[in-house]
Each structure stands twice: as structure tokens, then as C-alpha cells.
Amino acid sequence: MSRLHSLVYLLPELWRTLFTRPTTVRYPFGPLELPPYFRGKVTIEPSLCTGCGACVRDCPAFALELERESRDEFRLIHYRDRCAYCGQCQAVYRQRTIRLTSEYVPAAANRDALRREFGKDDIVVYVPARPTANAAIKLPTQEVTGADHSRPACNAGTRASID
């Protein structure tokens, strides 16, 4: 009795799956449709990069590396095999130096093909702006007990003064 019941239960499902199209995508043979919020290929605009290293510090997967040629010449290296495509590097910069596009990142046969260097041919040279007289911000300091050094005050009500 239970065999007959299971057969009756499976026949409509079998009939439905035989005559419907599969829900999987035929990716290599057809176009791949990605959602608009898809975080894909990382693009870096070398002319906007200042070489501060904030993206390198904030990357949880250690996918970014800043290689310095000199004090003002550097190259930013992105390792796609390490990247988690989380978007943390994009969130660091306001000037949109690093962006995640909605392009799909293809696979590669070797790891060297997954490494992209930005500024390799044209090493990025950063010329910092000249400091003005009021550029330095002096923070009030308070003595730390048990230590022989002072640190900036961490009170929420304390404001920094500009001289």
C-alpha cells in the first residue's frame, strides 16, 4: 500500500519536471544575468589614489597590497583569489577610488592571472597639498594613570581646537 501511495505521489512531480525548462543557467553557452546590486569586478582608479593604505588596513581578506617605490610613488595590488568581494575597500573612500562593478569575475587557470596591479606601467605619483597655517589640530590631552605618557582625551563632550 505504501508503494502505491509513493508512486501516486511521485507521478505528477515526474510529469511536471519532464516537460519544464531547468531553472539553472546555461552560463558558458548563454548570457549570465546578474542582479543590479551584485558585487563583482574590483576597479581601482589610480589617479584618485593617495597611497594612504586605508583600504589595505580595512580589507578583511588581505586582498590588497600597497607596494611603495619611493615616498610618493606606489602601486596598489589586488589579489582576486583572496578577495571576498565584501565591499569594505569601497566603503573606505569617499572619492570612489575603489569601486565594485556588477561585472562577473571569470575564473583563471593559474593564480598569477588573478593578480592585478594598478599603477604598474604608470607608477602613481602623489603630490600632497602644501599644509596651511591652520592645518594642525591640537587635541586636549589627559594624563593616563599608571603610565608615563599622555594620550588624546576620549570624552564625547571634548572638542578639538584649531589654532
Whole-model pTM: value is 0.56
Kindly report the backbone phi and psi dihedral angles of residue 107, in degrees, each rounded to the nearest multiple of 5, phi listed first: -75, 165
Q: Is 116:78 a contact under the CB 8 Å cutoff?
A: yes
Please state, in angstroms and rounded to a whole number, the distance separating the CA atoms of residues 67 and 83. 18
* Domains of the chain, residue spans: 42-121
pLDDT digit string, tens, across residues 21-34: 877 877 778 777 88
> pLDDT by residue (tens digit) across 104-141?
877 778 887 777 777 655 444 444 444 555 545 544 55
Q: Where are the beta strands (DSSP E) in 93-138?
A: 98-100, 115-118, 124-125, 137-138
Q: Which CATH number is associated with domain 42-121?
A: 3.30.70.3270
Dump pLDDT digits (tens) for 38-71: 888 888 888 888 888 899 999 999 999 888 887 7
Cβ contact 82:62 at 8 Å: yes
Highest mean pLDDT among 75-84, 129-138, 149-158: 75-84
